[in-house]
Amino acid sequence: MKFRFPIVIIDEDFRSENTSGLGIRALADAIEREGFEVLGVTSYGDLSQFAQQQSRASAFVLSIDDEEFSPGPELDPVVQKLRDFIEEVRWKNADVPIFLHGETKTSRHLPNDILRELHGFIHMFEDTPEFVAKHIIREAKTYLEGIQPPFFKALLDYAEDGSYSWHCPGHSGGVAFLKSPIGQMYHQFYGENMLRADVCNAVEELGQLLDHNGAIGASERNAARIFNADHCFFVTNGTSTSNKMVWHHTVAPGDVVVVDRNCHKSILHSIIMTGAIPVFLRPTRNHWGIIGPIGHSEFEPESIRAKIRANPLLKDVDADAVKPRILALTQSTYDGVLYNTEEIKRMLDGYIANLHFDEAWLPHAAFHPFYGTYHAMGRKRGRMKHSVTYATQSIHKLLAGISQASHVLVQDSEETKLDRHLFNEAYLMHTSTSPQYSIIASCDVAAAMMEPPGGTALVEESILEALDFRRAMRKVDEEFGENDWWFKVWGPEELEEEGIGRAKSWVLRRTDEDGVQLADGEDSWHGFGDMAPGFNMLDPIKATIITPGLGIDGKFDTTGIPASIVSKYLTEHGVVVEKTGLYSFFILFTIGITKGRWNTLVAALQQFKDDYDRNQPLWRVMPEFCAKHPRYERMGLRDLSQHVHALYAKYDVARLSTEIYLSDHHPAMTPTEAFSHIARRKTERVAIDDLEGRITTSLVTPYPPGIPLLIPGEVFNAKIVDFLRFNREFARECPGFETDIHGLVLEAGPDGTVHHYADCVAE
């Protein structure tokens, strides 16, 4: 299988007709005759730009006789030019071959710190171009073979083999698609390689995902090493499934479990499936709707015991004797707040048998020292004495996995080692017997990409891009001045002028920037109130953009711009954001984000401001939205913003949206028991005006933020019913801006009016 990894030659004489030029071109011709592409350039130009070629080069050949290296008798410019270039390449790539070639200079002219990075020193005309070419190509081939992680290498070898297969899938390497016009189109879109690599799990040389053997087993062991774990299990249907695997291995019916109230719904599904009895830890929230952390004191064993005593489902349980089976914690929150996991481990080691960190949005943190102990497993951190640590990570969210690529990481305790055979029973319960090998390959490759130094450089670039975006947004704000408006990016009030700066600047605290404790009534930038020192920090690559109109205290300004209008505008202008709240929207600086992308966002936001200030007609600036909702055609962008803003203020929706998550939630029966009413068809569809006091059989989940308000077995309270009524009325007054609430059933009556219901335990 042929890949395009050219050998890059940098020589100012590459296109010259002098002796040096003829010699280097003869070498290039010899390399190309051997089947390798050559990229020849005549100037180093922008050093960083050429060093970026490390990701697509199979080798570098650098001239050290160039005049630009030798402006005078001193050799220092040569040395510094080489040193800078090599450092830039090695920042990301420790292995790509680098050769020097020259006619007059030798290794005695170069210091050891440069020589140790070289794969060879070529003197032109001492050997034939053909011999030198073969020498360079041998190193290039060895390098390209060496960067292939275990499973991807085996998959490439299999796809190259060209064997006929008689097993599924039925398209037989893509051949079936060639028999149909639409199939031809599909084949041309996805390409030969993807379809040839879509194979059955019966291919022996690729290994078996269900048994974790062969090339797949080797790849999982390699990923475990890279991610600082004792065990790694690739999962091909997302972290929702990874979470369920962990829970079915660790939790039995009737077990007490400790759960982050703002956990992902897959954790709640796990509670339903395992028959566990949950005790919830309650996070904070601010009035922008940003989810804050669970307070430090909530993790204290005595605090958890008090929750067990207060739980009506555990009234016959001796809280002092119970040891919860598992803690599930969202790390990070959907808005980027992280926990100091070492502090949590210190408090709970031995009290809770298994600590499960749902790091779906944090697989990058292990690869840069900026994140310190704010992730589950670190290279130089000790293991717990009694409790086992699990981390589930979405490789497809922030690393280079394709959709549904996930894995489970496990770190043994000093006393307890994972029984892999028993874990695999839970694994088999949830994985497919027909896994997609392209997803497995992406897990394999994504892990290999994060091997230092490359992984460290990738994460550092993400952080730098995120900080440069924040600086750019502040620069725009400063230029508009105090008498004009602009968007704000949620985060610390002080940023370093350049670079990453200190991680402790991102730690959440209740002090001012000088470290002085704030007075009563004052609040810091995050709006979460008191914070335990060093317990939480904000991940800077997660940027929440605040729109005008709502203060962090929950008070509405006279005018405002709801975030949903901004995000719909951006979508029509080619910018799609991750998540939209009332007056905030969220973007992610993954390892794939570029300067062009975030600068385009800044430009689009400025265009929105111009169109808003001019009150441009919606049919002009948001034509697709108006086509779906013609009632808004005659409105201007500012008019629409004010219309929606006034309704939000009328219903005081910011406080209501916060209070529904912080209000008391009363469990009337276990989640498993309530959910079983669905299978037994003992449910009743209840209009939302009649919901107060009724027991839900389903998750009730508003999007955004996608956090369940209620889980099966809990009772609808007055605040939640008020919130549902607001959303019903708002949907009628502002179609196109509805909040999607999973768990509500919408049915149209005879007159076309849409009525809202929820499924409850039948009375």
C-alpha distances in Å from residue 597, one per residue of 354, 465, 574, 592: 41, 10, 10, 10
Residue 191 lies in a domain: no
Residue 18 lies in a domain: yes
Mean pLDDT, residues 585-592 taken together:
91
pTM reported for the whole predicted model: 0.91
Cβ contacts of 272 within 8 Å, gap of 6 or more = 671, 672, 675, 711, 712
Residue 222 lies in a domain: no
Do 613 and 678 share a domain, yes or no?
A: no
Confidence of residue 66 (pLDDT cuts 50, 70, 90): low
Residue 543 lies in a domain: yes
Residue 32 lies in a domain: yes
With contact defined as beta carbons under 8 Å apart, do 628 and 736 qualify? yes
Mean pLDDT, residues 577-599 taken together:
90
Residue 294 has a pLDDT of: 95
Residue 465 has a pLDDT of: 95
Residue 45 has a pLDDT of: 62
pLDDT tens digit string along 156-181? 888 777 665 666 788 888 889 999 99
For the cut 70, the answer to whether the pLDDT of residue 534 exceeds it is yes
Mean pLDDT, residues 530-537 taken together:
90
What is the dihedral angle through the alpha carbons of 700, 705, 706, 708, rounded to the nearest 10 degrees? Answer: -40
Cβ contacts of 417 within 8 Å, gap of 6 or more = 230
Boundary residue ending a domain (650, 683, 712): 650
Mean pLDDT, residues 330-350 taken together:
95
Residue 638 lies in a domain: yes
For the cut 50, the answer to whether the pLDDT of residue 108 exceeds it is yes
pLDDT tens digit string along 31-43? 999 999 999 887 7
Do 378 and 284 share a domain, yes or no?
A: yes
> In whole numbers, what is the pLDDT of the chain averaged over residues?
90
Do 376 and 279 share a domain, yes or no?
A: yes
Of the chain, the percentage scoring pLDDT greater than 70 comes to: 93
CA distance 583 to 581: 6
Cβ contacts of 185 within 8 Å, gap of 6 or more = none
For the cut 60, the answer to whether the pLDDT of residue 107 exceeds it is yes
Do 686 and 615 share a domain, yes or no?
A: no
Mean pLDDT, residues 337-357 taken together:
97
Residue 357 lies in a domain: yes
Residue 742 has a pLDDT of: 92
pLDDT tens digit string along 599-620? 999 999 999 999 999 999 999 9
Residue 415 has a pLDDT of: 96
Residue 511 has a pLDDT of: 54
pLDDT tens digit string along 208-221? 999 999 999 999 99
Do 249 and 326 share a domain, yes or no?
A: yes
pLDDT tens digit string along 460-485? 999 999 999 999 999 999 999 999 99
Mean pLDDT, residues 558-579 taken together:
93
pLDDT tens digit string along 226-258? 999 999 999 999 999 999 999 999 999 999 999
Residue 309 has a pLDDT of: 96
CATH of the domain at 732: 3.90.100.10
Residue 72 has a pLDDT of: 41
Mean pLDDT, residues 525-544 taken together:
91
CATH of the domain at 587: 3.90.1150.10
Which of 676, 720, 672 has its CA nearest to residue 694? 720
Boundary residue ending a domain (650, 672, 697): 650
CATH of the domain at 259: 3.40.640.10
DSSP string, 514-533: TSPBPPTT---TT------T
Residue 69 has a pLDDT of: 47
Of the chain, the percentage scoring pLDDT greater than 90 comes to: 65
3-class SS of residue 235? strand
For the cut 80, the answer to whether the pLDDT of residue 5 exceeds it is yes
Residue 519 has a pLDDT of: 54
Which of 235, 273, 152, 265 has its CA nearest to residue 424? 235
Residue 441 has a pLDDT of: 95
CATH of the domain at 99: 3.40.50.2300
For the cut 80, the answer to whether the pLDDT of residue 75 exceeds it is no
Do 510 and 626 share a domain, yes or no?
A: yes
Do 505 and 636 share a domain, yes or no?
A: yes
Residue 706 has a pLDDT of: 77
Query: Which residue is associated with the tokens 């308000």?
Result: 709
Do 545 and 640 share a domain, yes or no?
A: yes
Do 327 and 398 share a domain, yes or no?
A: yes
For the cut 50, the answer to whether the pLDDT of residue 521 exceeds it is no
Mean pLDDT, residues 366-391 taken together:
95
Residue 471 has a pLDDT of: 96
Do 67 and 120 share a domain, yes or no?
A: yes
Mean pLDDT, residues 733-762 taken together:
91
Helix residue spans in 39-149 (DSSP H): 47-51, 76-90, 112-115, 129-146
Mean pLDDT, residues 185-211 taken together:
85
Residue 299 has a pLDDT of: 97
More confident site: 338 or 494: 338
Which of 2, 370, 310, 350 has its CA nearest to residue 160? 2
CA distance 120 to 112: 13
With contact defined as beta carbons under 8 Å apart, do 87 and 48 qualify? no
Do 323 and 408 share a domain, yes or no?
A: yes
pLDDT tens digit string along 262-287? 999 999 999 999 999 999 999 988 88
Q: Determine the structural domain holding residue 547 and report its residue range.
A: 462-650
Number of domains forming the structure of the chain? 4
Residue 166 has a pLDDT of: 62
For the cut 90, the answer to whether the pLDDT of residue 101 exceeds it is no
Which of 357, 384, 365, 404 has its CA nearest to residue 243? 357
Residue 52 lies in a domain: yes
Mean pLDDT, residues 623-649 taken together:
94
Query: Which residue is associated with the tokens 């790390």?
Result: 331
Do 250 and 286 share a domain, yes or no?
A: yes
Mean pLDDT, residues 105-111 taken together:
68
Boundary residue ending a domain (650, 681, 701): 650
Confidence of residue 739 (pLDDT cuts 50, 70, 90): confident
